[in-house]
Amino acid sequence: MVPGNNTQISEFILLGFSKDPELQPLIFGLFLSMYLITVFGNLLIILAIISDSHLHTPMYFFLSNLSFVDICFISTTIPKMLLNIITQTKVITYEDCLTQMYFFLLFVQLDNFLLTVMSYDRLIAICHPLHYTVIMNPVLCGLLVLISWLIGALNSLLQSLLALRLSFCTILEIPHFFCEFKEVIQLACSNTFLNNVMMYFAVGLFGGGPFTGICYSYSKIVSSIHGISSAQGKYKAFSTCASHLSVVSLFYCTGLGVYLSSAATHGSHSSATASVMYTVVTPMLNPFIYSLRNKDIKRSLRRFFGMAAIKGPIVLGLRKCQLLQHSKH
């Protein structure tokens, strides 16, 4: 990629949150804590679902995929930011920036698609309970996840390839803690009309489309719940999708807040601060929402930790017995 002065672009500068060196240890500790909580929290959800045969259902299959995507999502941006703080540099190479943009776009789209698939799953479970196991069969569940990955990968590849054609001039500072796609495009000194058209087209199609699907699913779910006569039946039906509804609200509200913030501030540091909500806070809160509001997950986690607590002393006792036998011989 060659800019206007015919010199090869090799790196960008990530301005991050603050230039104050005294704040860097605080920022490092805060984001390291949030990163570790997110990774271990989502890993626990995955392990709980894998280890409990009662959770081998479409709903928890999609949840385990969402937890895996959230781990990948936060790992796309935070480790590089932490490394820059440790090495006291703000540089990211051109190749690393493009790679980061690709995977960021991929995983944010996967989050979007999986939340949509999960709302469809709840729609079938509540509105068509007698046909649920027939409709949401393993083949369909696998295809829905596979299609989500394929669409996300192809769109991310298209957006990244379009970014390759851009040329940059002298201002290479990104007012963010990662290579945010829109911010990088704004730095280009070549024509970005095609990039902007494709970007907003993708947002409308792959963002607005799933959001419309989620709204439709929950409108049908609410209508179906109102048709249930008993209060206990209504509560049971709503409780099965309460966790998912909380995650959907968090994801879309924070995403909309970031969009409005970036549109109002035009690339200032406040945009980077606002984006923390959906890039870091949302993946971190997902395990807490599902573990606190979902009885099946809570029961599975208690069983998982209970088995680990039982196995520990048993293994230690067996090792002691083996040592005693060896000492006798």
Structural domain includes residue 71: yes
Q: What is the pLDDT of residues 134-172, one digit of tens each?
A: 999 999 999 999 999 999 999 999 999 999 989 888 778
**pLDDT(28) > 60:** yes
**pLDDT(54) > 80:** yes
**pLDDT(315) > 70:** no
Count of domains in the chain?
A: 1
Structural domain includes residue 236: yes
DSSP-derived secondary structure letter, 175: S
What is the model's pLDDT at position 259? 66
| 304 vs 24: which has the higher pLDDT | 24
Rounded average pLDDT over 1-22: 70
Structural domain includes residue 83: yes
Structural domain includes residue 35: yes
Element (H, E) at 57: none
| Rg of the chain (C-alpha set) | 23
pLDDT band at residue 261 using 50, 70 and 90 as cut-offs: low
Residues facing 13 on adjacent strands: 91, 173
pLDDT band at residue 8 using 50, 70 and 90 as cut-offs: low
Q: What is the CATH number of the domain that holds 17?
A: 1.20.1070.10
- Closest listed residue to residue 218, CA positions, set 119, 306, 316, 296: 119
Q: How far apart are CA 126 and CA 223, in angstroms?
A: 10
**Domain residues for 237?**
11-293
Q: How far apart are CA 103 and CA 83, in angstroms?
A: 18
Helix H, strand E, coil C: the string for 192-246 is CHHHHHHHHHHHHHHHHHHHHHHHHHHHHHHHHHHCCCCHHHHHHHHHHHHHHHH
Structural domain includes residue 329: no
Q: How far apart are CA 93 and CA 228, in angstroms?
A: 58
pLDDT band at residue 2 using 50, 70 and 90 as cut-offs: very low
Q: What is the pLDDT of residues 116-132, one digit of tens each?
A: 999 999 999 989 989 99
What is the model's pLDDT at position 254? 74
Q: What is the pLDDT of residues 59-96, one digit of tens each?
A: 999 999 999 999 999 999 999 999 999 999 999 999 99
Structural domain includes residue 320: no
Distances 128 to 55, 122, 136, 286 between C-alpha atoms, Å: 20, 10, 11, 27
User: Any residues with CB less than 8 A from the CB of 145 and at least 6 apart, and which?
Assistant: 61, 62, 65, 114, 117
Structural domain includes residue 228: yes
- Closest listed residue to residue 187, CA positions, set 203, 175, 198, 201: 175
